[in-house]
């Protein structure tokens, strides 16, 4: 397998397209993915660059093993300056787009400039072109994906934005395969600011050569994965079965962090969601198959089809907003994907607004007539559409909770829970001191992905003493040793 890869650079302002081989020394230094993207940002952007300006850059980079025969080799890293935090925005996504991009001979894609009108970028092995896409602008991600597949044939792999990205929602995401989101830090807004509706890729599905020893190593790794104690649970439920555990542990974000327990946690737990699962799904070369398709056949959400959410969206659109109806959670999650807005930050923004409404800081005059009471899923859906279109009060929430609180005033800042501008994820930080410290120091903001303090949930006291100098380090309610624990979790 070649260690260095190809950098494909597309300037949307001029239409110039170029390919260059990445120096092997650079690839070895930054190990592709987020590392090479950060290096590219440093090369092409000035300090304090406006993430939504034409001069901004968006980088998509495969991992070193993406597209190979290695297990779980699907990952693609997306980076730009975040319009939500002003820091390095970062999103990691699975599915099949990354493997297809690698099969087309591209390790890293760098997009710069801004097209004069909506366009799509098409990569078909050596052939790369920009096509006019005004007819796709305004379509949700699902409809746009279906339209592009009909137009292009051969089922290309796609990265698509929805109305949220088109209208600059600061936490807009990019969807691929309608089930996978490059979410959280607003990469969809950056893509939308460039008038880039979608990226379509087809590759020749080149196989990387490897010997019998490598084959044996790959088989051994997959066998270890399948033999792990949690394999059956994760293959069936993903991490969705942790909702009830978080409730019992006293760290389930509930009613915008007012509480750490949700009495109806079992109703939205992953075991309950299995009632709606129609088939499992997987990413490229992944043995776990933790994704799943769902369908709701009866009731007010009948006809809803799409993806099962993981733990974080369930919490943020569920208990954090007081929603105990599993069908409502499934509907809201798939609506967020169609609108192209991050489900976690969307849930955080809605919970923030509902908290203010319950406290009397907001009234129906502020919320366009909507009663944003706990558990009001219908009002949440209406407000989500307003967020994606930047309409009415939705335009305020489209800024993220930090900026929204500044606009609202009246003490709203006290209930806008974020770190560095990024809404916090589903675990209440009071229930895990390592988690809380991770939220605080993560360069991405209030998120667990860059700093995962998992030892405080799973390790034994003797391991805490050995690794971090204190048995209390793995007591999630203690602050002892958390600095070393978080350092290891980076």
- 4 pLDDT band, cuts 50/70/90, is low
Residue 178 has a pLDDT of 79
Tell the residue number behind the tokens 């009909």, with chain if given: 150
| Predicted confidence (pLDDT) at residue 370 exceeds the cutoff of 70 | yes
Strands 119-124 and 196-202 turn out to be: parallel
- pLDDT of residue 337 exceeding 70, the answer is yes
Residue owning tokens 């007539």: 369
Dig out the tokens for 101 from the structure: 């991009």
Give how far Cα 301 sits from Cα of 284, 296, 332, 388, 486, Å. 31, 6, 10, 20, 42
Domain range annotation of the chain: 6-202, 231-414, 429-488
Q: How far is CA 31 from CA 75, 140, 387, 439, 451, in A?
A: 13, 34, 37, 25, 19
How far apart are the C-alpha atoms of 221 and 237, rounded to whole Å?
A: 22
Instruction: Tell me the pLDDT tens digit for each residue of 259-294.
Output: 999 999 999 999 999 999 999 999 999 999 899 999
- At residue 111, the pLDDT reads 98
User: Is the predicted pLDDT of residue 450 greater than 90, yes or no?
Assistant: no
For residue 334, give the 3-state DSSP assignment: helix
Quote the pLDDT of residue 2.
Answer: 53
Q: Let me know: does 80 contact 57? Beta carbons within 8 Å.
A: yes
pLDDT band at 490 (very low <50, low <70, confident <90, very high): confident
- What single-letter DSSP state applies at residue 171? T
The whole-angstrom separation of Cα 287 and Cα 451 is 25
Pull the structure tokens for residue 269: 């737990």
Positions of E strands within 381-457? 418-419, 422-423
Mean per-residue pLDDT of the chain: 94
C-alpha span between 131 and 28 (Å, rounded): 35
pLDDT score for 189: 98
The answer to whether the beta carbons of residues 486 and 459 sit under 8 Å apart is: no
CA distance 47 to 307: 39
Q: What pLDDT, on the 0 to 100 scale, is given for residue 142? A: 96
Residue-wise over 128-154: b if at least 16 C-beta within 10 A, else e? beebebeebbebbbbebbebbeeebee
Cβ(184)–Cβ(87) below 8 Å: no
Closest to 170 measured CA to CA, from 381, 439, 401: 401
Question: How many CA atoms within 13 Å lie on the side-chain side of 76?
Answer: 32
Mean pLDDT for the stretch of residues 143-158 = 92
Segment 343-364 shows an average pLDDT of 98
Given a cut of 70, whether residue 206 has pLDDT beyond it is no
pLDDT tens, 82-130? 999 999 999 999 999 999 999 999 999 999 999 999 999 999 988 999 9
Those residues whose C-beta lies under 8 Å from the C-beta of residue 204, and which sit 6 or more positions away, are: 103, 104, 125
| Torsion 341-269-293-428 (CA) sign | positive
Whole-angstrom distance, CA of residue 102 vs CA of residue 81: 24
CB 474 within 8 A of CB 463: yes
User: Domain 6-202 carries which CATH code?
Assistant: 3.60.9.10
Please identify which residue in the block is written with the tokens 């099969």. 103
pLDDT value at position 213?
86
- DSSP codes of every residue in 275-302: GGEEEEE--TT-SS--EEEEE--SSTTT
Mean pLDDT of 301-328: 97
Residue recorded with tokens 């934005």: 161
DSSP 417: -
Q: What is the pLDDT of residue 47?
A: 83
Q: What is the pLDDT of residue 468?
A: 93
Interval 378-404: pLDDT, tens: 999 999 999 999 999 999 999 999 999
pLDDT at 244 > cutoff 90: yes
Q: Is 305 helix (H, G, I), strand (E, B) or coil?
A: strand
CB 289 within 8 A of CB 235: yes
Q: For the domain bounded by 231-414, which CATH number is listed?
A: 1.10.569.10
């Amino acid at each position: 397998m070649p260690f260095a890869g190809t950098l494909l650079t597309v300037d949307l302002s001029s239409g110039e397209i170029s390919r260059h081989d990445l120096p092997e020394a650079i690839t070895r230094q930054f190990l592709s993915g987020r590392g090479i993207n950060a290096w590219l940002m440093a090369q092409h952007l000035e300090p304090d660059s406006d993430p939504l300006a034409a001069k901004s850059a968006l980088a998509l980079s495969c991992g070193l093993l993406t597209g190979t025969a290695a297990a779980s080799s699907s990952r693609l890293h997306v980076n730009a300056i975040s319009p939500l935090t002003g820091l390095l925005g970062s999103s990691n996504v699975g599915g099949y787009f990354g493997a297809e991009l690698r099969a087309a001979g591209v390790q890293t894609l760098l997009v710069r400039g801004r097209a004069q009108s909506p366009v799509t970028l098409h990569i078909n092995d050596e052939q790369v072109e920009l096509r006019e896409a005004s007819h796709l602008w305004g379509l949700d991600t699902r409809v746009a994906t279906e339209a592009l597949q009909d137009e292009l044939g051969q089922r290309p792999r796609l990265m698509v934005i929805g109305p949220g990205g088109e209208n600059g929602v600061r936490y807009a995401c990019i969807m691929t395969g309608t089930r996978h989101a490059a979410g959280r830090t607003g990469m969809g807004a950056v893509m939308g600011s460039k008038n880039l509706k979608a990226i379509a890729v087809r590759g020749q599905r080149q196989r990387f050569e490897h010997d019998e020893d490598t084959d044996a190593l790959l088989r051994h790794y997959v066998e270890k994965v399948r033999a792990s104690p949690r394999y059956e649970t994760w293959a069936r439920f993903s991490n969705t079965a942790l909702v009830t555990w978080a409730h019992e542990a006293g760290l389930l974000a509930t009613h915008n962090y007012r509480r750490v327990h949700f009495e109806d946690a079992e109703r939205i737990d992953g075991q309950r969601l299995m009632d709606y699962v129609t088939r499992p799904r997987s990413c490229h070369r992944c043995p776990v198959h933790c994704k799943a398709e769902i369908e709701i056949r009866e009731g007010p959400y009948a006809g809803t089809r799409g993806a099962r959410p993981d733990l974080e969206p369930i919490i943020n659109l569920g208990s954090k907003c007081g929603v105990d109806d599993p069908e409502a959670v499934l509907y809201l999650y798939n609506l967020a994907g169609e609108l192209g807005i991050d489900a976690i930050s969307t849930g955080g923004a809605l919970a923030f607004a509902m908290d203010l409404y319950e406290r009397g800081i907001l009234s129906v005059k502020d919320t366009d007539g909507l009663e944003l009471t706990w558990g009001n899923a219908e009002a949440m859906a209406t407000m989500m559409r307003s967020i994606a279109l930047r309409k009415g009060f939705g335009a305020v929430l489209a800024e993220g909770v930090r900026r929204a609180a500044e606009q609202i005033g009246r003490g709203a800042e006290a209930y806008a829970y974020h770190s560095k501008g990024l809404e916090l994820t589903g675990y209440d930080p009071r229930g895990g001191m390592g988690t809380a410290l991770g939220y605080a120091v993560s360069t991405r903001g209030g998120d667990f992905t860059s700093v995962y303090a998992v030892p405080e949930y799973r390790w034994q006291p003797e391991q805490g003493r050995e690794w971090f100098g204190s048995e209390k380090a793995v007591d999630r309610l203690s602050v002892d040793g958390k600095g070393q624990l978080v350092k290891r979790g980076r």
